[in-house]
């Protein structure tokens, strides 16, 4: 059994107080989006240099975007990198801890052998990835047409600072995709062979908070009042999967996210139901998780999965893969890509999935 929480997790009430208490100044670099940062500056300026991701590419992190950002912001010897954003900003910022003169490919090749040169503070502005507490960075490698994760100890933040007021400007779609991502982190890690009492306690709490929050929304597609609860749930789920791992849902979503530029949480949701249906037909023992879901949903019906997906469908539409232009041939290619590139994740499945099983899951999602 093994369990650890690496970054110190701190709550702070607003960004101005964070700047004061952490004495943010000229030796720091903030990596963010201008439209996420500026509503919190009270008309003033940030107290240090800033690097705005949207100037270097659109969407989730790619090797090309990261190389352009490392070149633009990597030269000065900053003491601290401060990430203020969703998983995109956070995963990019993690790669800045190695100092200047590196490329994304070089960092992934160097991995654990690379020395860390800078401190890292992470402030999440979505309620999903839990990346503020994981030592993982996930990047789309354009030439490979998929996302690949690097998991090394140097990528852990020193501190994760939770400021829930930063979530107020999230578009509804970002809330929906990111919170479903957090729920999937909690669910996948709960049934991982690496799960233990500590990860399950975190995962269970995250599941309860997210499902209670969704039930409270009563199908309305607007940001919930209680964003703190979703923010804490995503960090709890991050600690759970950072220790016990994510599995096939994430593995199968990466060729969709990378190949068709579907946001991460949405790509996960496209395959979530069918991956768990496949586990059930392969006789995985999901009963402890089903008890947690029944309690969280206050639902004792025999098919708790149907009840779960009925609720989740009110939060985020489940797009069929066919609408992206996926056909049987691409399902086979994506299944081959999963087997080749995602063994780190497939190792955490509660039952083994073959390439044929994975292809069939994709076909059922069409």
Q: Contact positions toward ligand NAD, by CB under 6 A?
A: 33, 36, 60-61, 85-89, 91, 125-126, 128-131, 134, 136-138, 147, 166-167, 169-170, 174, 177-178, 181, 264-265
215 binds, among ligand NAD, Fe ion, none (CB under 5 to 8 A by kind): none
User: Can residue 181 be called a binding residue for Fe ion (CB under 5 A)?
Assistant: yes
The residue (of 140 and 357) whose beta carbon lies closer to ligand NAD is 140
User: Can residue 274 be called a binding residue for Fe ion (CB under 5 A)?
Assistant: no
The residue (of 88 and 357) whose beta carbon lies closer to ligand NAD is 88
b/e string for 222-245 if b means 16 or more Cβ within 10 A? ebbeebebbbbbbbbbbbbbbbbb
CB of 272 within 8 A of CB of 184?
A: yes
- Residue 212 phi, psi dihedral angles, 5° rounding: -65, -40
Structure tokens at 301: 């019906």
Give dist(CA 112, CA 232) in Å, integer. 29
The residue (of 86 and 350) whose beta carbon lies closer to ligand NAD is 86
Smallest distance from ligand NAD to CB 350, Å: 20
- In three-state secondary structure terms, 161 is strand
CB of 122 within 8 A of CB of 93?
A: yes
The residue (of 188 and 208) whose beta carbon lies closer to ligand NAD is 188
Give dist(CA 207, CA 237) in Å, integer. 8
Smallest distance from Fe ion to CB 90, Å: 12
Q: How wide is the angle at C-alpha 159 spanned by C-alphas 36 and 88, nearest 5°?
A: 40
Smallest distance from ligand NAD to CB 145, Å: 15
How far from chain centre, in Å, is Cα 199? 17
174 binds, among ligand NAD, Fe ion, none (CB under 5 to 8 A by kind): ligand NAD
Give dist(CA 158, CA 169) in Å, integer. 26
The residue (of 39 and 288) whose beta carbon lies closer to ligand NAD is 39
Smallest distance from ligand NAD to CB 127, Å: 8
- In three-state secondary structure terms, 7 is coil
Task: Indicate the burial class of 329 (C-beta count within 10 angstroms; 0-12, 13-18, 19 or more).
Answer: exposed
- Residues within window 90-149 making contact with Fe ion, judged by CB under 5 A: none
Q: How wide is the angle at C-alpha 47 spanned by C-alphas 120 and 51, nearest 5°?
A: 60
Q: How far apart are the first and last CA of the chain?
A: 39
The residue (of 182 and 331) whose beta carbon lies closer to Fe ion is 182
Structure tokens at 70: 């490392």
Taking residues 139 to 178 in sequence order and writing x for each that binds Fe ion by CB under 5 A, - otherwise, the string is ----------------------------------------
User: Can residue 357 be called a binding residue for Fe ion (CB under 5 A)?
Assistant: no
CB of 35 within 8 A of CB of 68?
A: no
Q: Give the contacts of 44 (CB within 8 A, at least 6 positions apart).
A: none
73 binds, among ligand NAD, Fe ion, none (CB under 5 to 8 A by kind): none
The residue (of 125 and 192) whose beta carbon lies closer to ligand NAD is 125
7 binds, among Fe ion, ligand NAD, none (CB under 5 to 8 A by kind): none
Smallest distance from Fe ion to CB 185, Å: 6
126 binds, among Fe ion, ligand NAD, none (CB under 5 to 8 A by kind): ligand NAD
203 binds, among Fe ion, ligand NAD, none (CB under 5 to 8 A by kind): none
Q: Kindly list the residues in this chain that would bind Fe ion in the complex (CB under 5 A).
A: 181
């Amino acid at each position: 059994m093994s369990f650890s929480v690496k970054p110190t997790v701190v709550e702070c009430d607003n960004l101005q107080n964070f700047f004061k208490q952490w004495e943010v100044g000229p030796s720091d670099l903030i990596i963010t989006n201008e439209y996420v940062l500026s509503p919190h500056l009270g008309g003033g300026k940030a107290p240090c240099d800033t690097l705005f991701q949207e100037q270097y590419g659109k969407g989730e992190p790619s090797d090309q975007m990261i190389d352009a950002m490392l070149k633009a912001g990597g030269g000065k010897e900053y003491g601290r990198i401060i990430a203020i954003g969703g998983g995109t900003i956070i995963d990019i910022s993690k790669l800045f801890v190695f100092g200047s003169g590196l490329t994304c490919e070089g960092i992934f090749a160097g991995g654990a052998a690379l020395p860390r040169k800078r401190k890292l503070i992470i402030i999440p502005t979505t309620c999903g990835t839990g990346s503020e507490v994981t030592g993982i960075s996930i990047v789309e490698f354009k030439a490979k047409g998929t996302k690949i994760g690097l998991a090394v100890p140097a990528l852990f933040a020193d501190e994760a600072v939770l400021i829930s007021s930063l979530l107020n400007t999230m578009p509804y779609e970002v809330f929906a995709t990111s919170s479903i991502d957090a729920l999937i982190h909690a669910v996948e890690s709960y049934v991982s062979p690496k799960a233990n009492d500590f990860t399950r306690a975190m995962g269970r709490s995250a599941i309860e908070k997210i499902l209670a929050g969704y039930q409270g929304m009563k199908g309305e597609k607007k940001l919930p009042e209680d964003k703190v609860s979703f923010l804490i749930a995503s960090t709890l789920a991050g600690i759970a999967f950072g220790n016990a791992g994510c599995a096939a849902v994430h593995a199968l979503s990466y060729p969709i996210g990378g190949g068709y530029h579907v946001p991460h949480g949405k790509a996960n949701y496209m395959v979530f139901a069918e991956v768990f249906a496949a586990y059930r037909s392969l006789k995985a023992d999901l009963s402890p998780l089903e008890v947690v879901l029944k309690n969280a949903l206050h639902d004792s019906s025999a098919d708790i999965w149907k009840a779960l997906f009925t609720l989740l469908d009110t939060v985020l539409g489940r797009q069929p893969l066919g609408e992206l232009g996926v056909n049987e041939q691409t399902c086979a290619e994506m299944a081959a890509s999963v087997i080749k590139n995602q063994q780190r994740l497939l190792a955490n499945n509660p039952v083994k999935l073959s390439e044929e099983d994975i292809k069939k899951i994709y076909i059922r999602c069409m």
